[in-house]
Amino acid sequence: MKPTLWVSAALTCLSMLAGYQQYANTSYALAQELPARLKSETNIVVAQLNDYVARIGYNQPTDKPYVFATNIGYSLTFLKHQPLQPVRYTLESPVELRAPAWFSYLFSRDDLSQQHMFYLDNVKHAVLTTEISADEIIDNAWFNYCVLIVAYLLVMTGAMSTLRRQERRHVEMARRLSDGVSLIRDGHFHSIRQMRKDRVFRLLVVEFNQLVVQLEHQHKVISKEKKWLSATALFDDLTGFGNKPMLNRAMVSKQCSDQSHGYLVLLRLDSLEKINATLGCDEGDGYISRVSHLLNTSCGASKERLNTFRLSGRDFTAILPADSHDNIKLWAQKLRKSLSDIDNSDAINSGGIFAIVPFDQSSKLSSLMARLEAGISQAMIHSAQGYYIHHGLHDTEIDCTNWYEVIKTIIRTKGVILNKQQLKHRLENPNLYNFELFASFVCENVHYQAKDIFAAASRLSLGAELDKVIIERLQSFNDTVAVSNARYLIKLSYESILDIEFYHWLKQWLAQEDNLASKLSFEIPGIAISENYTTAKQFIAMLHVTNTSVCLDYEGSQCPHKLSRMIGELEVDMVKVNGYYTHRVDKQQERASFVAALVDIAHSIDVPVIASQVEHNEEWHQLETLGVDAAQGNLFGHVRPV
């Protein structure tokens, strides 16, 4: 019910109670107080007339007695003489408002009278008759009722006016709050103005304005974070080259310029992983630095500096200006010779291989990357010189799988099948995951190997989109996860860690799926941390905020003293040892020593260590002896559908 109805009902009830009380008081005055007053006044008059009657005696009265009577009228009659009728004395009511006749009929208004006998020598000598009227009491009651009615109307009018004014204030404040919320949705943070004499919304407005200030601060922090992440994610820390987003910008700028034709080069350091595994990460970084210096100082056939980018740990791209095919071939031979001069280690048996494709203003970067990938395959299989050059602008030139179309179809149709493999715990640890999730892919009823899809997606800048589809696929068994205590591990690609759009998408998705998020762990590749530490640290911090845990996939790319500092600073929840070090760990002392050192470092800061790709009992027994907390591999269970 509206407040106006409540207030009007309350005031009406109070007025009716006041009217009834006035009626009861008037009735009581007429029934009880009026006779008592008449009797009292009569006694006063009798006391004043006693001397007068005694003085007159049996004589004829010649004067009128002086009697003070305030509220009654009286007459004195001598029985043996001519009656003396003194003037009736009645006190005029000060109330000029006379009660109407119908109001008087509500009460018993008969005038009251009383007689008193005066005796002389025990003989009745005179009779005093007194009377009193009820008009004064009834007129006073009518006056009180009129005052009550006027007061009721004034109070009711004032209350209704106050309520309507308050209601208008509330409507205005609600409008201001609604406008403030709309402005916040649009990204404008403005405080709302307080309305004077409004106590109802005062605290709400104060809290709203404080919330606006907090949201504005958070918005500025997020905007600054986006700019910072975007800036740090555009360049490679080791080489200083731009990464995939920078390549996209450079290609758009090139194709929109007057010189829209040119060549795109993809260089792959095929031996980088082996260098890191056998000679150490420092040697691998030195090898990358030498190659990047070569590319940075290399010039095309037209003596123009190369526009070079680093796409991943072992892939580089460069944009060459348009030139003749013979000059491009000559440039490729010089680059091959320069790479061979760098490849002076026993671990570098194949060096770098590269492919070159032409482009024009209508070429799409994704299509060019697919052709470059096919060219790398051709260079590895068929080309003795270690490089391959495409001569035309179309894909029909060579027989290869159109990986771009395959992956885009998988993303569009969500052709992802989730599988899981159990983790073997040496001791029960609730912080470790129980299953690792693996994805297999189907496109138009054709099954593809996951490693081929992931490798192609990485080179085609589709890794983040592919990871989104895999993570969204988790919603299909959300109910199963919710009722179980099992935890699941998902591996993220290097590209997803550096993708600012994926960062915000995953943050929002985990916030919406909070029940599922607490059961998930995300595996971060070590190369993402070593090559872009700042962005990876920000990404890991976001995962911790959303109540998910983080597993570092350690591939030996960090020295032991750097690893300890890195794990502590990043607050990694667990470390997984690459399968290269767990394979034949029972027979190769170098690998056993590496695992033992890693376990000591991780356990010194209370971080568990997980061994991957364990295939034999002897390996598992050796890993148990070295202190590994858990292991995963076909020894404990094959990969099976979820």
Residue 328 and residue 324: Cα distance in Å, rounded?
A: 6
∠ Cα 75 79 80 (to 5°): 135
Look at residue 81 in the predicted model and tell me its pLDDT: 56
Look at residue 229 in the predicted model and tell me its pLDDT: 61
Instruction: Examine residue 261 and state whether it is found in any structural domain, yes or no.
Output: yes
Look at residue 347 in the predicted model and tell me its pLDDT: 46
Look at residue 90 in the predicted model and tell me its pLDDT: 47
Q: 284 with 387, same domain? A: yes
Look at residue 380 in the predicted model and tell me its pLDDT: 65
In b/e form, how buried is each residue of 214-224, taking b as 16+ CB within 10 angstroms? eebeeeeeeee
Say if residue 365 is exposed, middle or buried (CB neighbours under 10 Å; 0-12, 13-18, 19+).
Answer: buried
Instruction: Examine residue 163 and state whether it is found in any structural domain, yes or no.
Output: no
CB 301 within 8 A of CB 325: no
Instruction: Examine residue 181 and state whether it is found in any structural domain, yes or no.
Output: no
Q: 312 with 413, same domain? A: no
Q: What are phi and psi of 348, to 5 degrees?
A: -100, 85
Q: 348 with 482, same domain? A: no
Count of structural domains within the chain: 4
CATH number at residue 469: 3.20.20.450
Instruction: Examine residue 199 and state whether it is found in any structural domain, yes or no.
Output: yes
Boundary of a domain, candidates 371, 397, 423: 397
Instruction: Examine residue 535 and state whether it is found in any structural domain, yes or no.
Output: yes
In b/e form, how buried is each residue of 235-257, taking b as 16+ CB within 10 angstroms? bbeebebbbbbbbeebbeebbee
> Could you give the 3-state DSSP secondary structure of residue 211?
helix
Look at residue 549 in the predicted model and tell me its pLDDT: 92
Q: 386 with 347, same domain? A: yes
CB 504 within 8 A of CB 511: no
Instruction: Examine residue 389 and state whether it is found in any structural domain, yes or no.
Output: yes
> Contacts by 188-193 with C-beta closer than 8 Å and gap 24+?
189/213, 189/215, 189/216, 189/219
The set of residues, in sequence order, having a beta carbon less than 8 Å from that of 90 and lying 6+ positions away, is 71, 72, 73, 133
Q: 615 with 601, same domain? A: yes
CB 431 within 8 A of CB 549: yes
Cβ atoms within 10 Å of 510's Cβ, excluding its own: 21
Q: Which domain covers residue 220, as residue numbers?
A: 192-232
Q: 52 with 129, same domain? A: yes
In b/e form, how buried is each residue of 543-561, taking b as 16+ CB within 10 angstroms? beebebbbbbbbbbbbeee
Q: What are phi and psi of 522, to 5 degrees?
A: -115, 130
CATH number at residue 321: 3.30.70.270
What does the block give as tokens for 637?
């269970």
Residues of the chain with pLDDT under 50: 1, 84-91, 94-95, 300-303, 345-347, 349, 397, 399
Q: 407 with 388, same domain? A: no
In b/e form, how buried is each residue of 424-453, taking b as 16+ CB within 10 angstroms? bbbeeeeebbbbbbbbbbebeeeebeeeeb
Boundary of a domain, candidates 232, 263, 292: 232
Instruction: Examine residue 10 and state whether it is found in any structural domain, yes or no.
Output: yes
Which whole-number Å values give the CA distances from 385 to 269, 355, 483, in the listed order?
Answer: 15, 11, 58
Boundary of a domain, candidates 112, 134, 158: 158
Q: 393 with 411, same domain? A: no
Residue 79 and residue 127: Cα distance in Å, rounded?
A: 7
Look at residue 232 in the predicted model and tell me its pLDDT: 62
Q: 414 with 509, same domain? A: yes
Q: 203 with 252, same domain? A: no
Instruction: Examine residue 169 and state whether it is found in any structural domain, yes or no.
Output: no
Look at residue 109 in the predicted model and tell me its pLDDT: 59
What does the block give as tokens for 311?
């796409």
Q: 575 with 556, same domain? A: yes
Q: 254 with 272, same domain? A: yes
User: Which residue reads 């007695």 in tokens?
Assistant: 65
pTM listed for this prediction: 0.48
